[in-house]
Amino acid sequence: MPNIEALIKSIVEPLVEYPEEFAVEIVDTDDFTEYHLQLHPEDIGRVIGKKGRVVRAIRTIVYSVRVRNQKRARIVIADEVEEIDDSEDE
C-alpha cells in the first residue's frame, strides 16, 4: 500500500525554502482522507504556483495513486481554507 504522506513530502519538500516548517496533518472524514499541508507563509505561493499549476500537478499525482477500497485523498493547503472562509464573510 502506498504511503501518500511520504509521497506528498517527497514532492513538496524540494519546492519550499523552509522545509523545517513543512508538515502534513492527516484528517479522516467519512468520504476522504485529507492531507492538510502546513507551510511557512513564504512557501505557500511556491507550492500553489502560478494560477495553481503546481498544486494542481501535485494533486493529480496524489489522486492517481488511489488504492482499491481506500478513501479518496484530498490535499488542502491551510491558507486556501482560510481565504475561502474569509471571502464568504464579505
**pTM score over 0.85:** no
User: According to the CATH classification, is domain 4-89 in 3.30.2320.80?
Assistant: no
pLDDT value of residue 80 = 57
Helix, strand, coil fractions of the chain, as percent rounded to 5: 55, 20, 25
pLDDT value of residue 78 = 79
Residue 83 has pLDDT above 50, yes or no: no
Antiparallel, parallel or unpaired: β 23-28 and 72-77: unpaired
CA dist 46 and 10 (Å) reads 15
Average pLDDT, the chain: 84
All structural domains of the chain with their residue ranges: 4-89
**DSSP 3-state assignment of 33?**
strand
Give the angle 31-59-49 at the CA atoms, nearest 5°.
Answer: 140
Q: Which of 42, 8, 40 is nearest to 25 (CA)?
A: 8
Q: Which of 39, 46, 4, 5 is nearest to 19 (CA)?
A: 39
